[in-house]
Structure 1
Amino acid sequence: MPTNAQLLLLDRDVVAPSLTADQVMAAVRDAFVLHSQRAGRVFPVVRTKLQTGGVFGIKSGDVASRDLLGFKAAGFWPANPGRGGEPHQATIALFDPHTGRPLCIMDGNAITTARTGAAGGLGMQLLARRESSRICVFGTGVQARVQLDYALKVLPHLREVQYVTADGARSPSFEAVFEGRCSIGPARDRNDAVAASDVVITATPGGGPLFDAVAVQPGTHLTCVGADTAGKRELPAGVLERARIVVDDVTQARSIGECQWAAQLPCTEIGDLLAAAPAADRSATDVTVFDMTGIALQDLTVARFVYEHAIEQGLGTAVPWPW
């Protein structure tokens, strides 16, 4: 048996600089199309609350034609900021599907952030009105920042940003990230901000409805990030019933996403839209919702190019891993 096998370890200082926006968006698009064509498989999700107060999950899958196999172990530990760490934690592992041998273990936090932001960007490209100029963001954390960053990249007319914090206070650090790219400030009233916006991003812990359903005007696009566990929600009742709903995975969205609250409603997977030629038309008065729960193929396609980049550049730490 081989005794010189090695396992490559990639920490955040290697992973994060490798994540260029264009490459991440291309990899995520690829993941959604593979999923649509059933060329890539998504295995059943593990997502459970722990006695420690955290939430732990595993998302896994494979693409047989590309020798791609792996998983992401991730979750949310709300007490971590008090320990000086990030509440979201993620680790990704890639395997050789022919032997089962691990190829690489890498930090998954930056990948999770980037691939979720890229997914939101793709959703906005497809579903938001091209002339959208005003946006309302719920939350000011990591995901709120990356979603707004991609929104500014893909919506060329976006100029005015209102944001909503849990306590209603201004967030100078959030505003500073986007200085010079848009006009940005806190919303005085969350319902008024939603009603005045072309795009609404919800990127909170998913503790309950964030605004009233009547605030959503015809033509609005909503990117929903925070509902990723049974019992979580950000949208009020009545919005999904009015909307054209797009999801990353139907089964997953109906079990842990916003669609868990209206599982009987029809929805379309974003990979089907990306694979269509031409893409489906959007009416100027359509309300659209992208219910994002995150699928394993997003993590794996992004992790693959990070791994290949590390091999090419001689990055990371290789440790002996004999058979």
Structure 2
Amino acid sequence: MLIVPEREIGNLMTRAAAFDAVEGVFAAMASKNAYNFPVVREAIGYEDALYGFKGGFDRAGKTLGLKAGGYWPNNLEKFDLINHQSTVFLFDPDTGRVKAIVGGNLLTALRTAAASSVSIKHLAREDAKVLGMIGAGHQATFQLRAALEQRSFEKVVGWNYHPEMLPNIEKVAAEAGLPFEAAQLDRLGQEADVVISITSAFAPSLMADHVSPGTHIACMGTDTKGKQELDAALLPRATVFTDEVAQSVSIGEAQHAVAQGLIAQSDVQQIGAVINGTHPGRTSAEEITLFDGTGVGLQDLAVAASVVDLAVQQGIAIEVDF
């Protein structure tokens, strides 16, 4: 069995490699060459933590495994640790033996950012100039860096529940040579050509009347029953895409619009179909497109398998008898 410790991930996995892995697995899912297992995600009644398992099997890539972990909201304050904690386990699909254990914290941030970046590549207008960020926590910085690589953005506008955290994303914008402005949500929605929402909220912040025609929205924080970042009334105004339809309508952003009868499950499309060319994606400059990034196990497995290969090539992987 191989171990790739968390400390080594930053030297192995690049944003480009994460993008390629996630884009490829989304395409495989739409082609039915890969599938996710049902998600287990529960509040454990201790430290306000959410804990669960995401897994799947990529038949084409022969990648089998799961990610175990979740969200501990008190970690940063109490232990100086990031709030998201996870580990990826890969198994040999021929025998069921464990192949590798991989640190999943940085990989989770990279694969989540890659997913929204994939959606921007395939769904945002080519002339998008203003990027709006809702959320300014640890993962927002990864989201912003990845998004800036997909279009020639000229400005970043941002909003956060805790405004004192906005310098986190202002610094990333400055590194890219772009101006940053804090904005209220109505102005952010009106100005932004692309909006990324990455919060852990259980109530909507971006409302339907905030969003201008032609906007692309990547909603990346809703991955649990009850969570919500967007006004449910926004979804019927948009063409809705997701990583996994079953997750989108049960634990993703679409859960609320479906429950209220505003859209049907059949209105939610896999982004992999756009990547494969079996769905046209955006069809006009006025169309609002929305990507509901619920986070699927296959994303984690794809980036973990890629990082294990790199670790072996560079002699970094630790081999143990298990």
Q: Which TM bucket (shorter chain)?
A: over 0.9
Q: Structure 1 residues 198, 66: CA separation in 2 closer, same or farther (over 3 Å shift)?
A: closer
1:274 Cα shift?
A: 0.4
SS of the aligned residue for 2:10 comes to helix
1:119 aligns to what? 115
Counterpart mapping for 1:234-245 below 5 A: 234-245=229-240
For residues 126-158 of structure 1, the C-alpha deviation after alignment (integer angstroms, 9 at most, x for no partner) is 1111111112111111221112112210012x1
2:227 aligns to what? 232
Counterpart mapping for 1:275-314 below 5 A: 275-276=276-277, 279-314=280-315
Q: Is the 8 A contact 1:138 1:202 kept in 2?
A: yes
Q: Structure 1 residues 128, 146: CA separation in 2 closer, same or farther (over 3 Å shift)?
A: same
Name which of structure 1's ranges 17-26 and 112-121 shifts more when overlaid on structure 2.
17-26
Name which of structure 1's ranges 203-212 and 48-57 shifts more when overlaid on structure 2.
203-212
Q: Structure 1 residues 65, 243: CA separation in 2 closer, same or farther (over 3 Å shift)?
A: closer
1:16 Cα shift?
A: 2.0
1:278 Cα shift?
A: 8.1
How many angstroms apart in 1 are the aligned matches of 2:291 and 2:65?
26
SS of the aligned residue for 1:314 comes to coil
1:36 Cα shift?
A: 0.6
1:235 Cα shift?
A: 0.3
2:25 to 31, 35, 45: 31
Name which of structure 1's ranges 129-138 and 175-184 shifts more when overlaid on structure 2.
175-184
How many angstroms apart in 2 are the aligned matches of 1:278 and 1:78?
38
SS of the aligned residue for 2:158 comes to strand
What's the C-alpha RMSD, in Å, of the aligned pairs?
A: 1.5
Q: Is the 8 A contact 1:127 1:282 kept in 2?
A: no
- 2:146 is the alignment partner of 1:150: yes
Q: Is the 8 A contact 2:123 2:282 kept in 1?
A: no
Counterpart mapping for 1:61-80 below 5 A: 61-80=56-75
- Structure 2 unaligned regions, length at least 5: none
1:180 Cα shift?
A: 4.3
SS of the aligned residue for 1:18 comes to coil
For residues 5-50 of structure 1, the C-alpha deviation after alignment (integer angstroms, 9 at most, x for no partner) is xx21111121222111221111111100110111112111111111
Name which of structure 1's ranges 269-278 and 196-205 shifts more when overlaid on structure 2.
269-278
1:176 Cα shift?
A: 1.8
Counterpart mapping for 1:140-289 below 5 A: 140-156=136-152, 158-169=153-164, 171-181=166-176, 182-187=178-183, 189-263=184-258, 264-265=263-264, 266-276=267-277, 279-289=280-290
2:82 aligns to what? 86
Scaled by the length of structure 1, the TM-score of the pair is: 0.93
Scaled by the length of structure 2, the TM-score of the pair is: 0.93
Q: Structure 1 residues 180, 62: CA separation in 2 closer, same or farther (over 3 Å shift)?
A: closer
SS of the aligned residue for 2:228 comes to coil
How many angstroms apart in 2 are the aligned matches of 1:255 and 1:155?
31
How many angstroms apart in 1 are the aligned matches of 2:195 and 2:135?
11
SS of the aligned residue for 1:153 comes to coil
How many angstroms apart in 2 are the aligned matches of 1:225 and 1:198?
17
1:56 Cα shift?
A: 0.8
How many angstroms apart in 1 are the aligned matches of 2:238 and 2:73?
32
1:69 Cα shift?
A: 0.8
Q: Structure 1 residues 298, 170: CA separation in 2 closer, same or farther (over 3 Å shift)?
A: closer
1:4 aligns to what? none
1:100 Cα shift?
A: 1.3
Of the two, which has the highest radius of gyration?
Answer: 1
2:320 aligns to what? 319
How many angstroms apart in 1 are the aligned matches of 2:229 and 2:281?
27
Q: Aligned residues, how many?
A: 313
- 2:54 is the alignment partner of 1:42: no
For residues 54-110 of structure 1, the C-alpha deviation after alignment (integer angstroms, 9 at most, x for no partner) is 101111111234331111012101111122211101100111112211111010011
Name which of structure 1's ranges 229-238 and 310-319 shifts more when overlaid on structure 2.
310-319
SS of the aligned residue for 1:66 comes to coil
How many angstroms apart in 1 are the aligned matches of 2:226 and 2:215?
25
Instruction: Provide runs of 4+ in structure 1 moved above 4 Å.
Output: none
How many angstroms apart in 1 are the aligned matches of 2:167 and 2:18?
28
- Structure 1 unaligned regions, length at least 5: 1-6
Identity %: 35
1:204 Cα shift?
A: 0.7
1:3 aligns to what? none
Q: Is the 8 A contact 1:170 1:185 kept in 2?
A: no
1:170 Cα shift?
A: 6.2
- Letter of the structure 2 residue corresponding to residue 97 of structure 1: P
2:8 aligns to what? 14
1:280 Cα shift?
A: 3.6
1:206 Cα shift?
A: 2.0
